[in-house]
Amino acid sequence: MKARRIGDFNVGEIGLGCMNLSHAYGVPPTPEAGQKILLEAFDLGITHFDTAALYGFGRNEELVGPSLKPIRDQIMLASKCGMQGIDGKRVIDNRPETIRKTLEDSLRRLQTEVIDLYYLHRWDKKIPIEDSIGEMSRFVEEGKICALGLSEVSADTLRKAHGVHPIAAVQTEYSLWTRNAEIKMLDACEELGVAFVAFSPLARGFLTDTDLHPEEFAEKDIRRGMPRFQEPNFSRNAALLMEFRAIAEDAGCTAAQLALAWVLNTRPFTHVIPGTTSIAHLKDDVKAGEVELSSDIIDRLEKLINQETISGPRYPAATQAEIDTEEFTA
């Protein structure tokens, strides 16, 4: 697999988002099955593994850490603080004392002495970003983390944070159907030398060869609450898939590979971290780096799926209010 930089780390351009091994998209696999996927990912060349204190309210870190412990020195392990589960509810809290406790808990669950890349998962707008990053910079001084990251923030917030301590990576949603990063963030990352890590590069399973049926989603599947998967938006969006899959056929790859290759093609410092509970899909995903996209294919893709052709916002209003990323104006 081709490698790209994140801070001082040289990692495969395709990583693994570990969230859905513990929650988010219906019933997660058993811990045994999850461990098998993690180790298979490494065998396939993946060296970038992404988890968070929030995922499964700690269970994901408890799965990822012990599973990867035998190969710990051969991978880059990323986790996140600032958003966690408390009494069964998701809570955003960036107070220095809170993120310090979260770090200590994560180190214990991950069974490691140091986390390679540690993100502020969401910016708590009640707390100055400089205060949170200041505390996280002390984690670096103490040898508990190697590099700092930010998730779902604006270019302005990145600049403020970067002024306190170098930021190695920004992680946000980015795919053909979520293009917010193109407003300011990608340019800011290029200017500051910050890696850009795209989560949900497959549009939460939409940009694949699998036909989704939102009415069949599990009760706790987070997509149930996302407007793009609700009617009438979903039917309008699904109408684009036939042409999207036809473009993939013309490009000589699967739909998922096409979606991932497009993200990787946007800038040389972009990384993708698709998630999966299927080894077959995992094997498909890792081959995306071999796909070469012609200018004609790229042009057809970007005209077909973009912020103007996709129906519905990516988050419901309450969740969107928590997000700091730039948004396209109507």
CATH number of domain containing 270: 3.20.20.100
- Domain-located, residue 226: no
pLDDT at residue 176 in the model: 98
Residue 14, domain extent: 3-206+255-291
Closest by alpha carbon to 55, among 136, 144, 151, 142?
151
Q: Rg of the Cα trace of the chain?
A: 19
Q: 312's torsion region: left (phi>0), alpha (psi -120 to 50) or beta?
A: left
Strand pairing class (167-173; 195-199): parallel
Number of domains in the chain: 1
pTM of the model: 0.97
Closest by alpha carbon to 192, among 220, 165, 226?
165
131 vs 140: CA distance, rounded Å: 15
Catalytic residues: 55
The residues that bridge with 12 in the sheet, in sequence order, are 3
- Sequential pLDDT tens for the chain (330 residues): 999 999 999 999 999 999 999 989 988 999 999 999 999 999 999 999 999 999 999 999 999 999 999 999 999 999 999 998 888 889 999 999 999 999 999 999 999 999 999 999 999 999 999 999 999 999 999 999 999 999 999 999 999 999 999 999 999 999 999 999 999 999 999 999 999 999 999 999 999 999 999 999 999 899 999 999 999 999 999 999 999 999 999 999 999 999 999 999 999 999 999 999 999 999 999 999 999 999 999 999 999 999 999 999 999 999 999 999 999 986
- Domain-located, residue 68: yes
Q: 57's torsion region: left (phi>0), alpha (psi -120 to 50) or beta?
A: left
Structure tokens at 142: 């103490």
pLDDT at residue 23 in the model: 87
- Domain-located, residue 319: no
- Domain-located, residue 115: yes
Strand pairing class (16-17; 76-81): unpaired
- Domain-located, residue 139: yes
- Domain-located, residue 320: no
- Domain-located, residue 241: no
Label residue 61 exposed, middle or buried (CB < 10 Å: 0-12, 13-18, 19+): buried
pLDDT at residue 330 in the model: 64
pLDDT at residue 329 in the model: 81
- Domain-located, residue 316: no
Strand pairing class (48-50; 76-81): parallel
Q: Per-residue pLDDT tens for 68-106?
A: 999 999 999 999 999 988 888 899 999 999 999 999 999
